[in-house]
Chains A and B, each alone.
Chain A
Amino acid sequence: MDVTLTVNGEEKSVSVPPETTLLRLLRDDLNLTGAKIGCDVGDCGACTVIMDGIAVNSCLVLAGQAGGRSVETIEGLADLDAYHPLQKNFEDLGSLQCGFCGPGMILTAKQLLDDNPNPSKEEIQDALAGNLCRCTGYTKIVEAVADAAAEMRGDKQAA
């Protein structure tokens, strides 16, 4: 089936079988491998992308469902010259170790900050409950999200 969707601001058309997930479409057809194949059943959050403004597990979205919609992946968040404040604060604090959960973690956090620019620690933890990290223990991830939020509000100078 033919699917046309907007990915990181650009319209893309692909031809895929109906049983293709958005995750596979992004990785295999558009070569955007930032979204990871983790559990592939909606538990781990490594495949999180933002679709029409909300964080979703792209392993649980069929290509046909993504047709006509706007998808943002980690590749669209920033380029090497200008990191998003979330990316920068994750880097500054050493919030990631293996990094596999990073793209999903950062995109879920981005949706949180888009909706709520000043989240409490508990709200950050609640928002990230669907993004599993098996390296870090989450402390530095939660701190980085709080720091990025402060920076985006103008309450904290960029390091």
Chain B
Amino acid sequence: MKPFDFVKPDDQEAAISALAAHSPNVRILAGGTDYLVELKHVSQSPGTVVDVSQIAELKGIEETEDGLRIGAGVTHSAIMADPLIEKHVPAMIHAAHTIGAVQTRNLGTLGGNLVTCVPSMDSGPTLVALDAEVTVAGPDGSRRIPLTEFFVGPRKTILAPHELLIDVIIPKRNLGKPTNFYKFGLRKGQALALVNAASSLWVEDGKFKDVRISLGAVSPVVVRAPKAEAVLEGKPVSDDLISEAGKIAVTECNPIDDFRASLDYRRDLIDVLTRRTLQAAVEIAAQE
């Protein structure tokens, strides 16, 4: 690794001050499961590394007036063990479990997964399907934005060098919403998603309501499939409609063709995963 300065602020405010003081030659270190790998390969020093991995304020999971607030520094293992997440957003537990292996989940954070912003991130689809919002803070205060606006491109978010991702909020209206996440990778452990997907929906009087379909590794960032959602919205639940939604979702994505999977294979996966997540969400709704 190229030499750099290491700063370990005690709290959120000190972290933002440190980022501002060293911006733009500064990087945030949270779990490090991705960033340290990058640091070992880059030819240029990042300047200053600000370690936020032990900041207690970033580690809370709590119900607020707005919904469920999950600190950006919460690890994937902590998500898997949390009773509030199990109660309100169990699909997040399944999504967290598909990330890396236990060592990765013990270090890696929810915020880190979002900020790293690789197209195959496994935290993204479930959160997008639940209309999650994020809080971003800088020296001049904080702002809350929809998660979909946070993502800009592969490894690129709207975060400025002097800004910090604080938390993720699942809106109250979506707590307990039937949701399913499905990751397709080549192995169970330590595999990147070839395609991942999440669907959330309510079934009211036998009809689809508030359908969300979200897909990862099929576009530069995690996306929704609004046309596929629209074809279901307000219609009676049926397998035929779900099949149609799968086919439409394929047309709404722009997957790459690479050594992990061909374009055609990824397109097939979009169809299959859209259907499977919708079907699973319908089954969850039926149990309730």
Interface residues of A (CB under 8 A from B): 1, 17-19, 21, 40-43, 45, 48, 54-57, 59-62, 64-65, 67, 108, 111-112, 126-127, 129-131
Contacts and interface: CB of A to CB of B under 8 A. Distances in A.
Contacts of B142: none
B103 A55 contact: yes
B65 interface: no
A24 to B, nearest CB: 10
Nearest to B7: A64
Given A18-B49, A42-B104, A45-B103, A67 B189 contact: no
B104 A57 contact: yes
A19 B48 CA distance: 11
B29 A65 contact: yes
Given A17-B3, A19-B3, A67 B8 contact: yes
A21 B29 CA distance: 13
Interface of B: 1-6, 8, 29, 31-33, 36-37, 39-40, 49, 51, 53-54, 77, 100-104, 106-107, 188-190
Contacts of B8: 64-65, 67
A43 B101 CA distance: 9
Contacts of B77: 54
B103 to A, nearest CB: 5
Give the 7 A-B CB pairs with smallest separation, nearest first.
A130-B101, A129-B189, A18-B6, A19-B1, A129-B101, A54-B106, A64-B6
A103 B39 CA distance: 26
A56 B6 contact: no
B46 to A, nearest CB: 10
A130 B190 CA distance: 7
Contacts of B103: 42, 45, 48, 55-57, 108, 130
Contact of A62 (B36, B101, B106): B36
B100 A62 contact: no
A119 B2 CA distance: 42
A60 B8 CA distance: 16
Contact of B51 (A43, A65, A112): A65
B69 to A, nearest CB: 23
Given A64-B8, A65-B8, 18 more contacts: A18-B3, A18-B5, A19-B4, A21-B36, A40-B40, A42-B37, A45-B101, A45-B103, A56-B106, A56-B107, A57-B107, A59-B36, A62-B51, A111-B102, A126-B189, A129-B188, A129-B189, A130-B190
Contacts of B39: 19
Contacts of A65: 8, 29, 32, 51, 53-54
A146 B144 CA distance: 48
A111 B107 CA distance: 14
A62 B32 contact: yes
12 contacts: A1-B6, A17-B3, A45-B101, A45-B103, A55-B103, A60-B32, A60-B33, A60-B107, A108-B103, A129-B101, A129-B189, A130-B190
Contacts of A129: 101-102, 188-190
Contacts of B6: 1, 18, 62, 64
